[in-house]
Amino acid sequence: MEILVKAAQLLLSLSILVIFHEFGHFISAKIFKTRVEKFYLFFNPWFSLFKFKKGETEYGLGWLPLGGYVKISGMIDESMDKEQMQLPPQPFEFRSKPAWQRLIIMLGGVTVNILLAIAIYIGMLWIWGEQYLPTSEVNKYGIVADSVAREMGLRNGDKILSVDNEPVEDFFKIPGKIILDKAKTIQVERDGQPFNVIIPEGFIARLLKHQSPDFINARMPFVIAGFSAESAAKAAGVLEGDRVIGINDLEVLYFDQFREK
């Protein structure tokens, strides 16, 4: 069943691309008053699943899902109407149009596909947008520093105030600013007091060799989101949404502390 669903999704996606592509040829031809005899999704040898005629154009749905086409009068590679080609060119035919108009009609499909791709990416950015995490929100709990960040001088729980004395509102941009701007210092709040972390000389070069740019992450309180199968914690009465504050008489307020224990 899953294979059929994926096949249907692929066919639908390709059909959308085909329709827009052929519409590019169609609308270009119409702009230059060139007759379009047929506009079809899928090919229709021998018969069509559905068709109707409006004006001078027949619109239809073929049965062979290998693309689609528009039949433009006077275009031999589309119509293959050799008898028509033996007659004098008519004003409404493709072959009677100036070269620049013929070029636009031929490029119409590709042009519309490019515009469609741009529109899709704009839509994706409009819906999902850019990842943004305010540094002020991260500073409620501070950061989690991996081994590379600790070598730099950062510590778990540090609240980053600025980089080279310049505030950075988006937490996700802090690693890039440190690396790309070759930062010298990081201003943090540690244990309630301001602290200036001086980045060791040549450390940025070593940092570039680090596999992951995410050497700092937002610190999160230890809140139970869910349980694995046959969880001992669940059997003991722990509930989803509970916040852990300690384990075996040891203070454990954050998940990174739990991992270290």
pLDDT tens-digit readout, 26-59 = 999 999 999 999 999 998 889 889 888 998 899 9
Per-residue pLDDT averaged across 128-144, rounded? Answer: 86
130-219, CATH topology level: Pdz3 Domain (2.30.42)
Q: Quick: pLDDT tens for 60-85.
A: 999 888 888 999 988 776 445 666 66
The token pair that represents 131 in the structure block: 């990842």
- Number of neighbouring beta carbons within 10 Å of residue 219: 22
The CA distance from 259 to 261, in Å, is: 5
- Calculate mean pLDDT across residues 147-175: 90
Name the token pair of 206: 């070593």
* Gap between the Cα atoms of 15 and 64, Å rounded: 12
| Residues β-bridged to residue 160 | 188
Which residues are within 8 A (CB) of 21 and not within 5 positions of it... i.e. 6 or more apart?
68, 109, 110, 112, 113
State the pTM of this model: 0.57
Residue ranges covered by each domain of the chain:
2-128, 130-219, 220-261
The count of other CB atoms within 10 Å of the CB of residue 233 is: 13
